[in-house]
Amino acid sequence: MKIKKVGVVGAGFMGKAHCVALSNMPKLFTDAPYVPVFKTVCDIVPEIAEDFKERFSFEKACTDYMDIVNDPEIDIVCVCTPNDSHAEISIAALKAGKHVICEKPIATKTEDAKAMAEAAEEAAKKGIVSMCGYQYRRVPAIDEAKKIIESGRLGEITNVRAQYLQSWSADPRSPLSWRFVKETAGAGTLGDIFTHALDIAQYLAGNVTDVVSMVKTYINERPVQEGGVDLLGTVKLGDDAKKQVVDVDDEVSVLCKFDSGAIGSVEATRMAWGRNNYLTVEVHGTKGSLTWNYERLNELEVCYGMEDNDGERGFRKIYTGPANPHGDVTWNIPGMNIGYGELKAIEAYEFAKAVEGGYQPTTSFTVGYQLDRVCEAVLESNEKKAWVQVK
């Protein structure tokens, strides 16, 4: 089988997710276009890079991402760093002729997102692929939902409601990591998880054209986490810890108009006690509805309202499996279930197919830039307390 050599920049949570996915991709997909081989891992903390190198059997560890960019043997670069370095690393890698998969949100500033999209479009002319880590649209149930919508069985789509609710920062003792600092994160919940819900809503109902929003920060300062990888609220710091001001949002509520004519809402918070990875979407059409929740990601509920008799109407539950999109990644029997690991492997497979075919995947940097522009409109609407058109 063909091989492709991989460099990974950032050895935290997302570095791990990408590497587990890359290892599993050719094992789960029998028609995988290549076997990824781990060449170099980079992290600014040398001990973290070394430890990662050992655990994932990389050939080398380094602390300067240019070692990866300048390595002619490396074909693919995974950018898994905090948001403020996405643009610099991705553009350098694209210019060096590497295929790039970059975590979301694409950048901290719209001008950087634009520069990334432009660099990706230029590289695409030479068959170089870019992709953003909006993996949730690749959940088999979401692709099945898209198929059902496109079949017309739900009629004309009138309303889409998407939510992403988490609780890991609801406790004021949850430490301030780079995710709470505008300079490194760009935005708070807005860039971090609102964009995932928005991506699914847009995947199913078309692009958002206009927004009116409310954006709120509840906890204005937090104890500071010193160094190391982001702990996502799994530790609590006491009163003795140094405090720092939070200058990003905790919660976002947005009403949207879609270019398909549908209307709807997208909301996100990291402050919803009891909700963990509660990413949901509900779609209503003139003939039926569907609803899905990541916390039960293998289940899609559909109501073919106009097809059912009065008195028998209701949601039917589809357990996704081999007969649904990306069925080869699921186990043999619906209900055996897949999880986050397999989902990231689907993303790695879609990326590999695009690399092999020389085309841009559906979550290219151009899409990342469009999502960024919706976020920009959300912030402007909150400032102006008015509807704003997406640029």
Least distance from ligand SOE to the Cβ atom of residue 86, Å = 13
Selected from 131, 193, 329, 378, the binder of ligand SOE by CB under 6 A is 193
Question: In terms of CB distance, is 26 or 188 closer to ligand SOE?
Answer: 188
Q: Residue 135 CB, nearest distance to ligand SOE (Å)?
A: 8
Q: Least distance to ligand SOE from the beta carbon of 230, Å?
A: 8
Q: Which is nearer to ligand SOE, 12 or 325 (CB)?
A: 12
Is residue 192 near ligand SOE by the rule CB under 6 A? yes
The footprint of ligand SOE on this chain (CB under 6 A) covers a number of residues equal to 6
CB of 187 to ligand SOE, least distance (A): 12
166 binds ligand SOE (CB under 6 A): yes
For ligand SOE, the closer CB: 137 or 270? 270
Q: Please, which residue, 87 or 271, has the CB nearer to ligand SOE?
A: 271
Q: Does 165 bind ligand SOE (CB under 6 A)?
A: no
Give the x-and-dash track for 268-297 against ligand SOE (CB under 6 A). Answer: --x---------------------------
C-beta of 131: minimal distance to ligand SOE in Å?
Answer: 15
Q: Smaller CB distance to ligand SOE: residue 4 or 196?
A: 196
Written in H, E and C, the secondary structure of the chain is CCEEEEEEECCCHHHHHHHHHHHHHHHHCCCCCCEEEEEEEECCCHHHHHHHHHHHCCCEEECCCHHHHCCCCCCEEEECCCHHHHHHHHHHHHHCCCEEEECCCCCCCHHHHHHHHHHHHHHHCCCCCEEECCHHHHCHHHHHHHHHHHHCCCCCEEEEEEEEECCCCCCCCCCECHHHCHHHHCCCHHHHHHHHHHHHHHHHHCCEEEEEEEEECCCCEEEECCCCCCCCCCCCCCCCCCEEECCCCCEEEEEEEECCCCEEEEEEECCCCCCCCEEEEEEEECCCEEEEEHHHCCEEEEECCCCCCCCCCCCEEEECCCCCCCHHHCCCCCCCCCCHHHHHHHHHHHHHHHHHHCCCCCCCHHHHHHHHHHHHHHHHHHHHCCCEECC
Q: Which residue number, 96 or 229, has a Cβ lying nearer to ligand SOE?
A: 229
Task: Summarize as ranges the residues that interact with ligand SOE (CB under 6 A).
Answer: 166, 192-193, 196, 232, 270
